[in-house]
Structures are given as C-alpha cells and as structure tokens.
Amino acid sequence: MRKIGIVELEAAMAVATRRSFRAASSDLGVSPTALSQTIAGLEARLGVRLFNRTTRSVSPTHAGEQFLAEIEPAVGVINHAMETVNNHRDRPAGILRINSSVGAARRILSPIILDFVRLYPEMQVDLVTEDRPIDIVAEGFDAGVRPGDAVPGDMIAVRLEPIQGSAVVGSPAYFEGKAAPETPQDLLRHTCIRARMPSGSMYRWEFEQDGRIVTLDVPGRLTLDDASLTLEAALAGAGLAYLAEWWIGESVRDGKLRRVLDGFVPTSAGLCLYYPSRRFQSAGLRALISFIEEARRKRTSDHVATIRRRSR
C-alpha cells in the first residue's frame, strides 16, 4: 500500500479549514474533483471516514477531528523545515496568499504587488478581495491588507501609506442652482449618495466639529456598497459623496468634482499589511515586508530631497 504523503494531509487540513471542497481546491490550486478524489483515497487508506459531506456543507467527523488535531503540528513542522530550506535559495519562491478589501487591493496592486512580482519572478501572489472582515489564519492567508484601525490587535502591522484623508465632493452639475454646504448639518438639505458597510449597516458620515466627532446619517435616494460606483454616481451628478482622497484626486484636479467641507472632514488610518505574530514567516512574506519597507524609505528620502531642493 502506498504511504500517505504530505499532499494528502494538507488537502485534509484545507478541507477542514474551509468546510468546502470548492474553496479548499481554490486554495490548493487543484480542481474540486481532484481534491475530492484525494480525500476519498486518504479515507480508503485509513479505513475511516474523515468528513461528513452533504450537498451544502462539509464537516469533519469525530474521527476526522482527532486525526486533524494530531497531524496539524507535524505538518506545521514539515512545512517549516521546507521553508527553512527555501530560505537558502538566492531568491524566494512559492505562493503568497493575501486577503484585502476591494478598494485596498486597487491601491496596492500598483506599485506594490506588480513591482514585487517583477522583482521576484519565482513568487506567485494570490490576492483575494472581499470587504467582510475575516480571520486570515483560519482561512489560510499569509497576510491581510486593511486600514490600520481595522487590524486585529494580535497581528503585526506594516504601514503601506501615511494617514489617509477623505472629502465630501460633488460634480459641477450637482451644484447648479444649489448653495454649497458650509457646515455638516447643511448636508441634511442636500442629496447624498449613501454607503452601506460590509456588515449591512449604513455608514454615517464622520466630521470634526467644535472639537468633537459628529456623525450624520445623511439623506439620499441612492445607496451603494462600492467606492468605485459611488465615484461614478458623483461624477454623474447624482449627489454628494464621501470618499477617500485617493479615489477623487484626479477628478478634482480635472474639475470634474468639487470639494466641500474640507475643514470638517477628519483624517483616517492608512492601509497596513498585517500578519500573525505567532506563526513563522515564509521567505516570500519576509521578502514582501522588506520590499515595502525599502520602498517606504525611498519615498521618504525622495520627499526630503524635494524639500531641500525647494528651500535652496
């Protein structure tokens, strides 16, 4: 009988983690059919059913839970040993799985991710986008990308950008025949493009006024859950929008959007790459962290050089 290998064991752990053959197969880079056959072969060799399967769910049996609890430390040790060997390579290789919100992914794809894979051609980056908060360890990711104030407290964070600003904007067409709002409360007499959070709740627009934070549930006929759609609607004159500055910069410069209430809009935490402190770092993750830190040092150096040139 052929001995059970690390591939079968990792397959079982992936299915247990994701509770889905389709999701686990995507993580492993194989087809659902191939993964199902791998698990069936493992169960046949063990002579024990490891998973209960229905048309809607997959869950470990009692025997499966015991088996997975026993093999997880051993598989971790083997993977760590393999990664240690990989560290002796001249250049890192392998797959780096990163979870990010959709908006954050657009901000890090270029230059960070694209430049990273150009620099390390043997690395593969699997960037998965979803706006719901997730446990990156439980779902098999090496790292996540979220605003700094949304990073879990038990994670290590690497800053990707400085503090981020936001703005309230509207198109010239929207402001025709309307007085621009001068205080946040004036928004209650305007048409706003409302935003729904990933949790399903409505986002209340935040302002700093008289030394305190004020939140408003603004009125509006249009509610959206994607910043790019909100930008499109604002450009079309559908109402005022509350967006991060990086979304609107070009449109403001081109005169397609007009900023209002700048003195009232607070800054927010910039994006961070975060990863668990209790797990070993793969060579790929270490290379990405070093790449980010080097890029940040270069930006700082360039900024200082620019200031010195202007002061001469």
Report the distance separating Cα 51 and Cα 70, nearest Å. 16
Return the ∠ at Cα 297 (arms to 294 and 300), rounded to 5°.
150
Average of pLDDT values for 259-279?
86
Answer yes or no: do 194 and 54 share one domain. Answer: no
Answer yes or no: do 55 and 115 share one domain. Answer: no
Name residue 275's beta-bridge partners. 156
Average of pLDDT values for 224-241?
95
CATH at residue 26: 1.10.10.10
Average of pLDDT values for 113-138?
89
The structure tokens 């706006």 sit at 131
Confidence at 71, pLDDT banded by 50, 70, 90: confident
Answer yes or no: do 184 and 201 share one domain. Answer: yes
pLDDT at 195: 94
Domain annotation covers residue 236? yes
Whether the CA torsion 278, 20, 29, 144 is positive or negative: it is negative
Average of pLDDT values for 30-54?
87
Average of pLDDT values for 98-113?
87
Mean model confidence pLDDT for the chain: 86
Number of domains the chain contains: 3
At 147-198, the pLDDT tens digits run 888 888 888 999 887 777 899 999 999 999 999 999 999 999 999 999 998 7
Of the candidates 204, 207, 175, 202, the one whose C-alpha atom is nearest the C-alpha of residue 191 is 175
Domain annotation covers residue 1? no
Answer yes or no: do 30 and 66 share one domain. Answer: yes
Rounded alpha-carbon distances, angstroms, from residue 62 to 11, 18, 45: 18, 17, 18
Answer yes or no: do 77 and 102 share one domain. Answer: no
CATH at residue 248: 3.40.190.10
Average of pLDDT values for 303-312?
52
- Please report, as a single letter, which amino acid is at residue 302: D
Answer yes or no: do 260 and 280 share one domain. Answer: no
pLDDT at 206: 94
pLDDT at 53: 87
Percent of all residues in the chain with a pLDDT value above 90, rounded to a whole number: 40
Average of pLDDT values for 293-312?
62
pLDDT at 98: 94
Higher-confidence residue of 10 and 89: namely: 10
Q: Does the pLDDT at position 303 exceed 50?
A: no
Average of pLDDT values for 21-41?
83
Report the distance separating Cα 18 and Cα 59, nearest Å. 9
Average of pLDDT values for 37-48?
89
SS3 of residue 84 by DSSP: helix
Number of Cβ atoms within 10 Å of the Cβ of 171: 21
Higher-confidence residue of 276 and 216: namely: 216
Q: Does the pLDDT at position 293 exceed 80?
A: yes
Return the ∠ at Cα 245 (arms to 244 and 248), rounded to 5°.
100
- Answer with the one of 45, 60, 86 that is the final residue of a domain: 86
Of the candidates 142, 163, 177, 156, the one whose C-alpha atom is nearest the C-alpha of residue 271 is 163
Q: Does the pLDDT at position 306 exceed 70?
A: no
Q: Does the pLDDT at position 104 exceed 70?
A: yes
pLDDT at 300: 57
SS3 of residue 158 by DSSP: strand
| Residue 312 in tokens | 């001469």
Of the candidates 228, 293, 274, the one whose C-alpha atom is nearest the C-alpha of residue 98 is 274
Answer yes or no: do 216 and 257 share one domain. Answer: yes
Answer yes or no: do 185 and 203 share one domain. Answer: yes
- Answer with the one of 264, 280, 302 that is the final residue of a domain: 264
pTM flag (> 0.75): no
Percent of all residues in the chain with a pLDDT value above 70, rounded to a whole number: 90
Q: Which domain holds residue 49?
A: 6-86
The structure tokens 């399903």 sit at 200
Confidence at 307, pLDDT banded by 50, 70, 90: very low
Answer yes or no: do 220 and 280 share one domain. Answer: no
pLDDT at 132: 79
Report the distance separating Cα 47 and Cα 114, nearest Å. 46
